[in-house]
C-alpha cells in the first residue's frame, strides 16, 4: 500500500502492489487540509435507465454550490456492454462532463459500471483501480468496490436490460410502464428458486480489498469520523466481509453511503449512520419523496457531519419564471 503526500495536508491511500498504474478513478485534487467547517456533496445513481439530462443538471448545481469535493456512489453508465467501443463511448461522454465542473470528484464502482468482463477491462484501462481511500484533516474516507468479484449476468438477462433501457430513453414519459414490462419479463423467465432470491443483495468484497481497508483503518485510528462509500448497501446483504468491516469500525463514529436501490433512506445506530442515496438521474423504483432525483449535502462542523437533502425536481432555472400580470386583492 502506498501513502501519497503527508498527514499535514491530505493523503491518498492506494493498493499499489495490486494496481501498478497511474490511472485514477477520480478527477481533480483534494483541497489542502480541511481543518475547519467544510462541505461535500454525495450524488446517487445516474443509471440504470437514466433520464437524459438529470445527472447533468445535478452537476451544474453542485458546480454552482462549490463543495470541497463530490462523492459518487456508483452506476455512472448504463454499462453491461460486451463491446469495449460501446463502453468507452459511454465513459467518454460522462467523464468529460464531470471533469468540466472543475470539482474534485471521487467515483465508486457500481454494478452497471463493472457488470461484464468488458466493463471491468475498460474501467481498469481508464481508471486503474476500483477501491481506494483518502484522508483530509480529521476525516477518513473509504471507497469500496462491492463488485469484487462482479456478479455475472446471463446474456438473455442483459438483453432484457438493454431493451428496457432503450425503451425508457426513447419514451421517458412512459418509464414506469417500460419498467413494469421489464419486470414482468424477468419474472416470466425465472424458475421459482431464482424468483425467491430476486430481492437479495449480493455483495462482493475480496479478501485482498478487505485487508487493504483493515490496514488503512488501523493506520488512521485517530480519525474523528470515517465515511464509507459503497454501491450496494452492505447492511442489506448477508455478507461476512461486510460484517468484518463493521467490526473494524466498531467504537469509531462513521457514516456509510450506498446507492443501488434509487431511493433515499436514513438510519442511525449509535455512532453509525447508514444512508442509502436516492437517484440522481436513474429510473425511479417508487413514488415516495425518497424516490425523487436528489443530492445529499454534507457539512462537517467540528468533526461532526450534518446532512441536508436537495431535491433536483424542486429546483429550476430563473428563466422558468416569466413576468405576469398581478393584481392585489
In a domain, residue 135? The reply is yes
Average pLDDT over residues 100-105: 97
The SS3 call for residue 186 is helix
Residue 74 and residue 45 in contact, taking contact as beta carbons nearer than 8 Å:
yes
Q: What is the CATH number of the domain that holds 301?
A: 3.60.21.10
Which DSSP symbol is given to 31? P
The mean pLDDT value of the chain amounts to 92
| pLDDT value of position 2 | 47
| pLDDT value of position 191 | 67
Q: Write out the three cell numbers for 202.
A: 449480493
In a domain, residue 53? The reply is yes
| pTM of the entire predicted model | 0.93
| Angle, CA of 47, 48 and 49, to the nearest 5° | 105
b/e code 160-190 from CB counts within 10 Å (16+ = b): bbeebbebbeeebeebeebbeebeeebeeee
Lookup result for grid cell 468496490: 145
| Contact partners, residue 28, CB within 8 Å, separation at least 6 | 69, 102, 103, 104, 105
In a domain, residue 12? The reply is yes
Read off the pLDDT of residues 38-97 as tens digits, 9 standing for 90 and up: 999 999 999 999 999 999 999 999 999 999 999 999 999 999 999 999 999 999 999 999
Q: How many domains does the chain have?
A: 1
In a domain, residue 20? The reply is yes
Q: What distances in angstroms separate CA 213 from CA 142, 146, 206, 257, 304, one per listed residue? A: 7, 13, 11, 16, 22
In a domain, residue 193? The reply is no
Q: Which range marks the domain in which residue 207 is found?
A: 2-151+202-316
| pLDDT value of position 199 | 66
| pLDDT value of position 34 | 76
In a domain, residue 329? The reply is no
Q: Write out the three cell numbers for 244.
A: 468484518
Least confident stretch, 2-6, 18-22, 219-223, 229-233: 2-6
In a domain, residue 162? The reply is no
Read off the pLDDT of residues 156-184 as tens digits, 9 standing for 90 and up: 889 999 999 999 989 988 988 998 998 88
In a domain, residue 182? The reply is no
Q: Write out the three cell numbers for 50.
A: 437514466
Q: What distances in angstroms separate CA 63 from CA 31, 41, 98, one per listed residue? A: 15, 10, 10
Amino acid at each position: 500500500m502506498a501513502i501519497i503526500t503527508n498527514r499535514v495536508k491530505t493523503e491518498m491511500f492506494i493498493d499499489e502492489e495490486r494496481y501498478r498504474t497511474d490511472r485514477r478513478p477520480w478527477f481533480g485534487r483534494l483541497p489542502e487540509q480541511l481543518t475547519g467547517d467544510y462541505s461535500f456533496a454525495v450524488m446517487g445513481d445516474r443509471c440504470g435507465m437514466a433520464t437524459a439530462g438529470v445527472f447533468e443538471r445535478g452537476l451544474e448545481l453542485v458546480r454552482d454550490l462549490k463543495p470541497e469535493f463530490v462523492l459518487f456512489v456508483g452506476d455512472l453508465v448504463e454499462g453491461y456492454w460486451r463491446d469495449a467501443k460501446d463502453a468507452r463511448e459511454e465513459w467518454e461522454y460522462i467523464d468529460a462532463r464531470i471533469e468540466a465542473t472543475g470539482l474534485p470528484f471521487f467515483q465508486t464502482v457500481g454494478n452497471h459500471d463493472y457488470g461484464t468482463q468488458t466493463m471491468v477491462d475498460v474501467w481498469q484501462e481508464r481508471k486503474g483501480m476500483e477501491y481506494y481511500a483518502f484522508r483530509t484533516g480529521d476525516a477518513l474516507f473509504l471507497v469500496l468496490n462491492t463488485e469484487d468479484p462482479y456478479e455475472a449476468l446471463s446474456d438473455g438477462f442483459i438483453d432484457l436490460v438493454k431493451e428496457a433501457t432503450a425503451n425508457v430513453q426513447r419514451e421517458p414519459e412512459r418509464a414506469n410502464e417500460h419498467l413494469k414490462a421489464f419486470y414482468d419479463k424477468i419474472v416470466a423467465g425465472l424458475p421459482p428458486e431464482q424468483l425467491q432470491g430476486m430481492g437479495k443483495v449480493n455483495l462482493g468484497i475480496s479478501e485482498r480489498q478487505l485487508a487493504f481497508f483493515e490496514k488503512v483503518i488501523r493506520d488512521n485510528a485517530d480519525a474523528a469520523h470515517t465515511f464509507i462509500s459503497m454501491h450496494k448497501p452492505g447492511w442489506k446483504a448477508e455478507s461476512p466481509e461486510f460484517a468484518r468491516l463493521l467490526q473494524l469500525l466498531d467504537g469509531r463514529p462513521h457514516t456509510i453511503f450506498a446507492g443501488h436501490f434509487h431511493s433515499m433512506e436514513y438510519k442511525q445506530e449509535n455512532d453509525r449512520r447508514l444512508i442509502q442515496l436516492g437517484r440522481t438521474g436513474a429510473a425511479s423504483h417508487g413514488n415516495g419523496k425518497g424516490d425523487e432525483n436528489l443530492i445529499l449535502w454534507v457539512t462537517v462542523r467540528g468533526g461532526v457531519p450534518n446532512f441536508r437533502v436537495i431535491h433536483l425536481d424542486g429546483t429550476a432555472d430563473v428563466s422558468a419564471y416569466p413576468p405576469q400580470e398581478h393584481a392585489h386583492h
